[in-house]
Structures are given as C-alpha cells and as structure tokens.
Amino acid sequence: MKSNCQILIVGGGTAGIMVAAQLKNENPKLDIALIDPANMHYYQPAWTLVGANTYDFDKTARKMSTLIPKGVTWIQESVTEFNPDKNNLKTDKDQTLTYDYLVVCPGLRMAPELVEGLQEAMDNGVVCSNYTDPNHTWETIKGFRGGTALFAMPTTPIKCGGAPQKIMYLADDHFRRNGIRKNTEVIFAIPGGVIFAVKRIADTLMNVVDRKDINVRFFHKLVKVDAEEKIAWFEIAKDLSAGGCVVMSDDDDKTIDKEIQYNYKDVKVSQKDGRYGIHFDMMHLAPPQAAPHFIANSPLSTAEGWLEVDEKTLQHKKFKNIFGLGDVAQLPTAKTGAAIRKQAPVVVDNLLSMISSNKLTDEAYNGYSSCPLVTGYGKMVLAEFDYSKEFKPDPKLKGFPFMLKDSSKEHWRLWILKKYLLPYLYWNKMMKGIRV
C-alpha cells in the first residue's frame, strides 16, 4: 500500500475528482493519491428533481472506480487524524500517509443531532429530505392528501442553500396538478430575514411566492421535531419586545409583524416555553450540516469547526503546503458545485506554482457560486453571485447559445440547463478535468 506521495487529496467528491483530474491533465507525471472510502459517487444537484419524480435516481450515481483519473492512486480508507506539522495523516486502517502537499475537500456531513428529535423523525419517515433520500421525498409528496405542507431550513451552513425551496415549488405544482392544493397550506419556515441573499434573485422568488400563495415565516429557528405529534418547534430569532406577534387569527391582521410573517396563513400553531410549534401533515427539511468530525477536531479547522483557508488563494492560513476547497471550507459564499467549478482551477494553479517555485500565482477565487433555483416543472431561475452577494452572471455561461440575457427571471430554457446540460457538463467535462 502506498504510504507517501507528492500530492495527497482527501475526498473523492466533486472537488477531489476535479482537482485530481485537472492536475493530471496539466502534468501526467505528478504523483497523486486520493483517499475516500466511498464506492459510489453521486451527482447530488439532480436530487431535487428526483424528489419531484422528474429524474431517475440511478442516473445520479456512478462507481467511484470509474471516476478516479488515470494514474491517480485510490486509497479506499477514511481519515482519522491530521498531523500537519509532520506532513502526514492517519487512517482508519492504522496507516500513516505522508505527503509533500495536501488538498482537503471531504465535503460535509448531515448533522440531524443538532435538532432535538430530528433523527428519529427522519428514521421513522415522518420528515423527508432530498439531502438524504430523494426517493422518499417523492413518495411523501405523492402520498400527501392535503393539510399543512411545511418546508424548513436549519441555521447551519448547508450545501446548495436554495434546495429547500426548490422542492417546495415543485411540490406546489404537483399539488395543483392533482387537485390537492385547494386543501393545502404551504409554509416555508426559514431562520433568516430574506428568502435569498441576492436581492435581485429574492425579488424574483417573492413573486413566485405570491403566485403560488405560499406563507413565508422568517426568523424561525428549528429546535425540535416531535415525530409522534407531527409538530416542528421553532424559536423566533427576532426581538418581539417592540410589538407585533407571530401567531394570531386572520382578524388580527393589524398586529402581524410583517418582518416575520409574509402572506400569513392560519395554520395550527402551539406555544410552549417561548417556542412556536407548527403542526404539519408533511414536512421536508434540509438537515443541519457540519464539517466531518475528523476536520472539526483537527489542527486544520476554524473555531467553528470548518476548514480554515484563505478566501482568495484557498491556501490554508497556517500550513502553506495545504489547500482546501468545496463544502468543507469556511468561505463566505454558498456551498455549491458551481463554486467548486471556480475554486478547483485556483487550487490547481496555485499548487503547481508552489511545486515549481514555492510561491502562489496571482489567481484568486472571487467567491463565485450559483444556484439553479427551480421554481416549478419547466421553470428555473439561475442565481449567480460572488462575495459581494450581487447578481454576477458567469461570462462562460452567458456565452452558451441557449442562455438568456437575464437569467434572474424564470424561463424554460434554464430548466433545460438544469435537467440536461448541467449533468452532461458534470460527467463529461468537470469530472474529466476539463475547465468549464
């Protein structure tokens, strides 16, 4: 078994495969090893569509062995410990692997234990989630017969922050097509004060909310799920001492705090110990998410437990021969595959420069990310932005003949991008180290 290498990559997800492939494309002679225990690799952006029965789950999966770039050694083990001062790490099979340079990109983990009762609710099928089992999401939506359909988000960073509302819009379409919507209230409970951080996109999405007659409840921090009673308990993360309230009847409209309730619906809500419990008949949730334990408990992490890297160079702030990218990195932008598409070339070029001249290039990651926000069957908005949180379309994408002049508005062409073109680019370009 290989015990030392020139470049060691931790993680065989989108980031790890892209970096390995791009490095090999640039210099086939590089000695590269990639460590990841998984047998399968998933194209998770399509799981939103799987959850709405418009994409086959099996098409999102490929064997990891078919994706490892030629000439890259695959070590099918798990990391247990980093020793950056010694340029080595340990694995679950008691191996010590040494390296000259390390690339850390193991993704993140689902952390349902951060919400009381959530693990039980998910295990029992009471709460569905595209993040863990999109087939179950579709079975839940298909079997729903009316009542309160609750969609919620955690307070932690999550991969693809728009995903919790994408499935809501698709579910709403399904309910309408099947005559269920007239007997249904759709509730979107979120911890923040806006539906999306980019104002131009948020304006579009609030128009979608209006058209679909969805109740948005802002500043709702999910703290507990009662699986037996089907109640999601929230704390309100906003000071109510100045007046206004959260739960009231329709004839009390004048007392509604508009910053908390948008398009108020009189669904059943209980109050206890300062918490508000929304009773639901179906619930979809993006579970809380966190860095893997072997990152959070390592010398590589920030105080919050995420991987500590420079937001522009993606070089570790303490260890100059270590780079990091992807969902595990603590960067002030969204955790998406589109972000990795822009991060990977910066890591690769800086890494090659360090090997050849022991210095970084002038390249810098600007925080670019994008979120294909599906707003219904056959409709989508493409949110593109950078560290500024302003709408910033990628010139490479705008050059595609099918793209619109303004992708901040809903259009069927963007749905085609989501369902057909992006999966093609992923498997046939990105995973092969072709810069797109």
Joined together, the tokens standing for residue 13 give 């997800």
Radius of gyration of the chain (CA): 22
Kindly report the three-state secondary structure assignment for every residue of 129-178: CCCCCHHHHHHHHHHCCCEEEEEECCCCCCECCCHHHHHHHHHHHHHHHC
Nearest of 259, 235, 255 to residue 116 by alpha carbon: 235
d(CA 105, CA 326): 6
Maximum pairwise Cα distance, the chain: 73
8 torsion bin: left (phi>0), alpha (psi -120 to 50), beta (else): beta
Provide the token pair at 267: 């669904």
Indicate which residue of 105, 128, 160, 245 is catalytic: 160
Distance CA 267, CA 186 (A): 10
Assess whether 105 carries a catalytic annotation.
no
CB 46 within 8 A of CB 372: no
Nearest to 374 by CA among 138, 132, 128, 167: 167
112/198 Cα distance (integer angstroms) = 27
Torsion of the alpha carbons at 39, 44, 46 and 52, rounded to the nearest 10: 100
Pairing, β 88-91 against β 96-104: antiparallel
Kindly tell me the burial class for residue 28, based on how many C-beta atoms sit within 10 Å of its own C-beta (0-12, 13-18, 19 or more): exposed
CA dihedral for 412, 418, 424, 428, sign (positive or negative): positive
**Is 1 within 8 Å of 77 (Cβ atoms)?**
no
End-to-end CA distance of the chain: 34
Catalytic: 128? no
Q: What residue type is assigned to position 306 of the chain?
A: W
CA-wise closest residue to 345 among 17, 19, 10: 19
The token pair that represents 274 in the structure block: 């300062």
What are the residue numbers of the active site? 160, 371
